[in-house]
Structure 1
């Protein structure tokens, strides 16, 4: 989600820490808007720099010290205060731990306890769960202290702990150094990223990898970063139209919801020249619909993870390669590996590994998981895929989501892609369910666009697109799919919907 810079102009020395990124930008563009929050105010780079120093002084006055972990619990309307607190924590030499108001209290309690946070800075009327930490508010931290903070912070220092979504278990804390976060920062004003845009719009939650990437874009990209407290298609498209937004970032769930409302036919979205999708693979049928809905935009799919960033692949939607996720960007590396971690030749399926072009991330206080996922700078992505002859990545499925049905292994992503081709399917998700003969059978949950969608009709539609063992044994029509704050389907909750439906049938309720 960060575009490469362009050579050809004298460069200011690249900052090695996030506080240096902000200091440099404030010196270059003091009066330029950095962040704009719908209904939540805006902030220039000079204001951001000054307020970060003031809050950092407040943190130091209250005993926060170098290396302390500080939780940052903020809601979507508080992006401005969150951005100030994030940089202030790092200026004080401490480690920022971004958290979202959308998390359950038990999740917040686990994260704060796991990283042993000494303090929590909170947004509007939010109170973290009880624990061994102090609760602080941005307004009380700013105080009367002024001027730069005199704390030495280096590129190798720990800057951030970001917790994963926990879709397959307890969230893991992913630790990133300043060198990791500041990698690739563009310092030449005329070469800043997304130069085609005055505004970059997103609606990613605080506390997600996508949201953190947008915060770093606010520090070193050209456009002001525009966001809103919570995504709705109506507000999102209105902001595009009102601000003539040139760059837009979404997750597939947002794109699907927007398209299903038909708002793209009633709003003027012609200003968008780049629409990027992140967090999970964009189904090819959805990418094709986006290309029609945003006729002036390049539709781009980004593939990375909280663990692998800033390594990523970037793929401009190409109808001749609809399922491809692109090739490595920013000097990173990509390989498909067998069980022993050794690279496999093009065309063979295996585990997806990525290598960061800078200091790699790691799991915080989890040596066993760290050893399994990180190896000599390489990161095991937890996905299965293959490389084609031109080096493009084709994702097959999450390793944990592959369904072994009888003698076959079935990709849930492939089945979902076929489901999205049906004109009456608004959303779709696929899981494996226990089966007395096959061991596990394919099951699909779909959100219909109209009331005429039936399981038998859907299976008939899929017979021309999928092999027999890939066609769902069960189809459940639902109003919504269970998703986490990043927009990813929570598969364990999805399986619960099938269990509830089976129980209801047994009891004669349906």
Structure 2
């Protein structure tokens, strides 16, 4: 087929080109001994070859573990060894390989010889080993089969009403399941095309929108925050975009509304976990969107809320969010106890706190582990963050618990403001006092120039907490 399929700054490939080059890479991997049940690692920045390696390995019955290309040798070697990878595709000399055979990306073959026997991909073949961010210990390998990927791509393509006329601009990192499923597999299944950007920067991203005329993209809140803070004289042509997706981390309603108004976008917020093959809920593109929620469950999935003793709760009740469907992972690689702790009675326990309304729309309250216990009272940082986001000066906010000799824990807020809106910590304290009871007020509000982010672009709360674990914070005059 001559229809456009994949492109990046180096290549522009039709569907026929992709099939040909994936076959050539599969032959090359086979010559290195890769076969059914093996794991191939790919440690590359965003580029079409990363996707060709995925397709090539799957052609052989092998799985792929994508490795963050900016990992240190120690981080990369941990994943390579934990995944039992047999080969790694790298950006070139000097890349960490843990002593494994490797192929530099520039040496990947482009023309097949036609020597591979036919083999159908089986639904229960392991397809991906995606490693979690490791915010609570060493990263774990999430095992996703082809059945999980097919279910997720079908759900997303149907929910987002993707067709061959759609064109996705991929900007999220391809070592994460979001980019692989929302941008690559869903667009491929629909017969659309995909343009891969190596990395995100606000102005080059908007230039790419104007140049390539995509119909949609998926991004994390940090990207929308970077776009929202651009000077007012930046007025790009975004008229080709049918919608945009926001996920991977909580986002404020105010930030989404600001981006929608400024760039003329329809932004649908979704929610999911790597363990659920990316997405479990999403507001509809055409249909009732409820700001402040992450939408109803995707077709074929069930969402529930349970009490601490595991009972399913009625609509409107708050509890731990659970997910059930053909997208839920096989389990964690060689971690049966941790798998059993999250896969219970057919449900995936997410560790998120939320509630489902009468229409089935999910509102997230917070992470179970993020909850702050102040003098015996349970506080949810997301509630405090939502109030902070309601101030017109606030671009990003994060609230974490700090040790306190009297209350056990107290909330501390970190706020990044829009560059064109002057504000002080006292202004933000006054705003919080208008909307929060005294016990929920942050005892300190810091105004750093930026917040730490993890490799996926989420605000790195573990790093913020770690900086506070050195001991109780002294009481300050700005405390509430």
TM-score (norm 1): 0.85
Task: Please state if 1:391 is matched with 2:360.
Answer: yes
Asked if 1:137 is matched to 2:104, the reply is yes
RMSD: 2.9
Q: Give, in whole Å, the separation in 1 of the partners of 2:177 and 2:418.
A: 31
Residues 501 and 489 of structure 1: is their aligned pair in 2 closer, same or farther, counting only changes over 3 Å?
farther
Number of residue equivalences: 471
Q: 1:330 aligns with which of 271, 290, 299?
A: 299
- The answer as to whether partners of 2:404 and 2:473 remain within 8 angstroms in 1 is no
User: What is aligned with 1:3?
Assistant: none
**Residue 146 (str. 1) matches residue 113 (str. 2):** yes
| Matching residue of 1:74 | 44
* Deviation by residue 1:54-110 (Cα, 9 ceiling, x = unmatched): 11111111111211111111012xx21111111111112211111121333322111
1:292 partnered with 2:285: no
**Cα distance 1:98–1:234, how it changes in 2: closer, same or farther (>3 A)?**
same
Corresponding residue of 1:354: 323
Query: Does residue 1:95 correspond to 2:63, yes or no?
Result: yes
Q: Per the alignment, do residues 485 and 398 of structure 1 end up closer, same or farther by CA in structure 2, a change over 3 Å counting?
A: same
State the 1:199 CA deviation.
Answer: 2.3
What CA distance in whole angstroms lies between the structure 2 residues aligned with 1:360 and 1:503? 41
Q: Please point out which of 371, 378, 385 is paired with 1:402.
A: 371
2:51 to 70, 80, 83: 83
- Aligned partner of 2:168 among 193, 200, 203: 200
The CA distance in 2 between the partners of 1:172 and 1:184, in whole Å, is: 21
Are positions 1:107 and 2:75 aligned together? yes
Q: Secondary structure at the match of 2:168?
A: strand
What is the CA distance between 1:448 and its match in structure 2? 2.4
Asked if the contact 1:35–1:218 (Cα under 8 Å) also holds between the matched residues in 2, the reply is: no
Which residues in structure 2 correspond to 1:238-253 (within 5 Å)? Answer: 238-253=207-222
Q: Name which of structure 1's ranges 358-367 and 455-464 shifts more when overlaid on structure 2.
A: 358-367
Q: 1:36 and 2:20 equivalent?
A: no
- Residue 250 of structure 2 corresponds to 281
1:483 to 446, 450, 453: 453
TM alignment of 1:287-326, pairs within 5 A: 287-295=256-264, 297-309=265-277, 312-316=280-284, 321-326=290-295
CA 1:234–1:247 in 2, change beyond 3 Å: closer, same or farther? Answer: same
Match of 2:29 among 56, 59, 62: 59
Q: List aligned pairs for 1:445-460, cutoff 5 A.
A: 445-450=414-419, 452-460=422-430
**2:289 and 2:326 mapped to 1: Cα distance?**
29
Bigger drift between 270-279 and 82-91 goes to 270-279
8 Å CA contact retained: 1:195, 1:223: yes
Report the Cα distance in structure 2 between the residues aligned to 1:347 and 1:270, rounded to whole angstroms.
Answer: 38
Secondary structure of 2:238's counterpart equals coil
Deviation at residue 319 of structure 1 after TM alignment: 10
Is 1:342 the counterpart of 2:342? The answer is: no
Unaligned runs of 5+ in 2: none
Structure-1 residue corresponding to 2:124: 156
The structure-2 alpha-carbon separation of the partners of 1:144 and 1:233, relative to structure 1 and needing over 3 Å to count, comes to closer
8 Å Cα contact 1:192-1:220 kept in structure 2: no
Offset at residue 495 of structure 1 (A)? 2.9
Q: Is the 8 A contact 2:222 2:458 kept in 1?
A: yes
CA distance in 2, matches of 1:301, 1:251: 10
State how far apart, in whole Å, the 2-side matches of 1:248 and 1:172 are: 28
For residues 471 and 345 of structure 2, the distance between their equivalents in structure 1, rounded to whole angstroms, comes to 47
Q: Which of these residues, 346, 349, 355, is aligned with residue 380 of structure 1? A: 349
Deviation per CA, 1:288-325, whole angstroms, max 9, x where unpaired?
21221233x32201111100126511124999943211
Q: What's the TM-score once normalised by structure 2's chain length?
A: 0.90
Contact map agreement 2:54 2:64 (CA 8 A) in 1: yes
Is 1:444 the equivalent of 2:413? Answer: yes
CA apart distance, 1:336 = 0.3
Deviation (angstroms), 1:143: 7.4
Contact 1:298/1:316 (<8 A) preserved:
no
- 1: distance between equivalents of 2:469 and 2:423? 21
1:261-288 CA deviation, whole Å, 9 max, x = no partner? 1468521223222111011222111122
CA distance in 1, matches of 2:216, 2:77: 36
Which runs of 5 or more structure 1 residues have no equivalent in the other structure? 1-29
Summarize the Cα distance change of 1:287–1:197 in structure 2 as closer, same or farther, 3 Å threshold.
Answer: farther
Deviations 1:442-477 (A, max 9, x none): 001112224843222211111122222221101111
Matches of 2:173 and 2:158 in 1, distance apart? 30
Q: Distance in 2 between matches of 1:200 and 1:502?
A: 48
> Take 2:376 and 2:10, find their aligned partners in 1: how far apart are those partners?
55
Alpha-carbon distance between aligned partners in 2 of 1:264 and 1:379, rounded to the nearest angstrom: 46
Which among 125, 134, 142 is matched to residue 166 of structure 1? 134
- The alpha carbon displacement at 1:140 in A equals 3.5
Counterparts of 2:257 and 2:160 in 1: how far apart (Å)? 29
Contact 1:311 1:354 in 2 (8 A): no
Give the direction of change, closer, same or farther, for the CA distance of 1:115–1:320 in structure 2 (3 Å limit). closer
Q: Mark the CA change 1:35 to 1:230 in structure 2 (over 3 Å): closer, same or farther.
A: same
